[in-house]
Structure 1
Amino acid sequence: MHRIFTTSVASVYPLYVAKLERKGRTRAELDEVITWLTGFDREQLAHHLEAGTTFEDFFAAARLNPLAAQITGSVCGVKVQEVEDPLMRRIRYLDKLVDELARGKALDRVLRT
């Protein structure tokens, strides 16, 4: 099992925020990306962050967006579409969406609309 599975989403969330804010993006955009991917509303997302939910439990409770399979490309040299473990693939989807936002991609393109 990967260590990230038992890591709380709340411990990684501020790192996502910091990365995006350095690039001129906002926490609201990050929240929109996360809610799009997971099907959680903002209240549910806030609850998971406050509760210290692990990535494993976070994605177990999520209703993954049907368009998530369109998320392709590499994160840390690994193609997300080739990641075998379903949980790790979902975590990589989130990483990829954050990377796309940080690189200045328009939000509607990041959300595959």
Structure 2
Amino acid sequence: MKTTPKHNERIAKMTFASVYPHYVTKIESKGRTVQELHQVIEWLTGFDNDKLQELIDEKVTFETFFGKAHLNPNASLITGIICGYRIEEIENTLTKQARYLDKLVDELAKGRKMEKILRQ
């Protein structure tokens, strides 16, 4: 399935703070911790706990969130289907980055080992 310009714009304008609580709920309901979630986010973006909280408090959009991120060089190893989209086929850079994060959160919630999630 291909993303549309409307879909890409919706992701760009969505705030990270609005999605973050859903990530927490998803992983905690499966027995994972917020610390593990933060480890995954830091691996992908380079944001430590303080910077992550600052971005949440500022209610930055995903466009700003990923614009400030230093994406892990191994992020391109994140593949598969998330939300009906094959990650490696997504052409819009921002949408692909947002789906990388969704995929990592999904893997965490499914109980995958941290070494595998972090592509080590």
Where on the TM-score scale, by shorter chain, does this alignment land: which range?
Answer: over 0.9
Q: Which amino acid aligns with 1:55?
A: F
- The 3-state SS of whatever aligns with 1:2 is helix
TM-score, normalised to structure 2, is 0.91
**Residue 77 of structure 1, CA deviation:** 2.0
Mapped pair 1:80 → 2:114:
no
- Of structures 1 and 2, the one scoring higher in RCO (CA 8 A, sep 6+) is 2
**Once superposed, which parts of structure 1, at least 4 consecutive aligned residues long, lie more than 2 Å away?**
none
| RMSD of aligned Cα (Å) | 0.9
Instruction: Give structure 1 stretches of 5+ with no counterpart.
Output: none
> Identity over the aligned pairs, expressed in percent?
51
2:76 maps to 69
2:52 maps to 45
Match of 1:14 among 12, 18, 21: 21
Q: Matched residues in 2 for 1:34 and 1:17: separation? A: 12
Matched length:
113
Instruction: Give structure 2 stretches of 5+ with no counterpart.
Output: 1-7
TM-score, normalised to structure 1, is 0.96
